[in-house]
Structure 1
Amino acid sequence: MGLNKKQKKQIDVARQKIQKLRQRLTGAKEQMDDPQEVKNLEQEIAAQEDLIKKVQEAS
């Protein structure tokens, strides 16, 4: 069974967030002003990737 529109939208939004988070992560790693920010961004990326997996598995 394929994904419905709502599930596709959830995945699209999560992928866009991951893209923005990765850009922020690159900047944070270059600056290294706040090592905790790097950790937070990595956790948020992982959370978004988990969300994508859950939505795909639920279909």
Structure 2
Amino acid sequence: MAILGVLLAVLLAITGLLFLVLQSWLADTVVRRVVGVPIGWPRSIVVGFVMSVAMGLTVQYLFRAC
């Protein structure tokens, strides 16, 4: 049973990481189109990642404040 718990935790972590990457890619795509100037892929992906993390932390804070 303990192995199933560990396996579930690993699968949830991998799923969460994949979702974060997908969300960062989506934010990257939106930022590139809105800004309209050529921005390098590394910078835009980092900005998308930072935006995703900041939004997640903000939602958690607001959820706990209610």
TM-score (norm: length of structure 2) = 0.46
**Which structure is richer in relative contact order (CA contacts within 8 A, separation 6 or more)?**
1
Larger radius of gyration: 2
